[in-house]
């Protein structure tokens, strides 16, 4: 029993470290993406543009990391890919729409020495929302965050090295390698299948591998 508990504890620790590592990676990439926008927009002299990019990157990255964690380890892992893609797009659109308004509103208020409410209601901010770069920034954030979410999701399902090997064409040149294979035999699986039926047994197998 102690050996089993030790194995479970070590598995939990490894899983937590892996989740923290992925979360930090997502946040770091999002910060770089956020800082890249003012560079692409050639706003080198605008300090607040970089502050906005960094803040949106950090907060958006944290949100993405939490979402990725919930998607991979939570119930959404069992959802259909197309359904998840639609939900992710809607979630990121709404999330970044609000996040951009909040961040740019606060930084603009600090820059102009106003309150958040007064700055948001000002003509300058209204022009930014309806005639300025707000829509462009939103599209930039949603498209890149959705793309990053897809990449990280694929990386978790298929090891990142495997994806890189596929892209680089490594598998087109066969060579000998040492690999470890694991075979699982579920006890009384035939009996369980007969008791549960085809559909429920399939769901049972899916839950088994997901957990």
pLDDT in tens, 24-68: 888 999 999 999 999 988 887 888 899 999 999 999 999 888 887
Do residues 98 and 61 share a domain? yes
Do residues 196 and 167 share a domain? no
Do residues 41 and 131 share a domain? yes
Q: How many domains does the chain have?
A: 2
Do residues 77 and 44 share a domain? yes
**What pLDDT is stored for residue 72 in this prediction?**
61
Do residues 197 and 106 share a domain? no
Q: What is the mean pLDDT of each run of 10 residues along the chain (211 residues)?
A: 44 64 87 91 85 93 82 60 78 92 93 91 91 90 86 69 69 74 76 82 74 58
Do residues 186 and 101 share a domain? no
User: Which structural domain range is residue 194 located in?
Assistant: 180-211
Do residues 184 and 164 share a domain? no
CA distance 57 to 141: 9
- Predicted model pTM: 0.68
**3-state DSSP helix/strand/coil % of the chain, to nearest 5:** 80, 0, 20
Q: Which residues contact 119 (CB under 8 A, 6 or more apart)?
A: 105, 108, 109, 112, 125
Do residues 114 and 42 share a domain? yes
Do residues 88 and 151 share a domain? yes
């Amino acid at each position: 029993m102690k050996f089993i508990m030790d194995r479970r504890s070590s598995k939990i620790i490894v899983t937590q470290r892996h989740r923290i590592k992925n979360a930090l990676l997502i946040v770091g990439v999002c910060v770089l993406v956020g800082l890249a926008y003012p560079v692409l927009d050639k706003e080198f002299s605008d300090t607040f543009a970089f502050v906005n990019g960094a803040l949106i990157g950090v907060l958006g990255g944290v949100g993405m990391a939490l979402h990725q964690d919930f998607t991979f380890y939570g119930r959404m892992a069992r959802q259909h890919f197309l359904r998840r893609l639609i939900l992710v797009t809607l979630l990121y659109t709404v999330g970044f729409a609000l996040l951009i308004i909040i961040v740019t509103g606060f930084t603009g208020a600090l820059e102009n020495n106003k309150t958040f409410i007064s700055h948001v209601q000002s003509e300058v901010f209204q022009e930014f929302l309806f005639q300025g770069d707000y829509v462009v920034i939103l599209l930039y954030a949603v498209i890149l965050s959705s793309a990053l979410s897809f990449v990280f999701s694929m990386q978790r399902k298929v090891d990142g090295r495997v994806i890189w090997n596929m892209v680089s064409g490594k598998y087109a040149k066969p060579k000998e390698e040492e690999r470890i294979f694991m075979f699982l035999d579920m006890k009384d699986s035939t009996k369980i299948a007969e008791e549960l039926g085809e559909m429920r047994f399939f769901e049972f197998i899916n839950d088994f591998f997901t957990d």
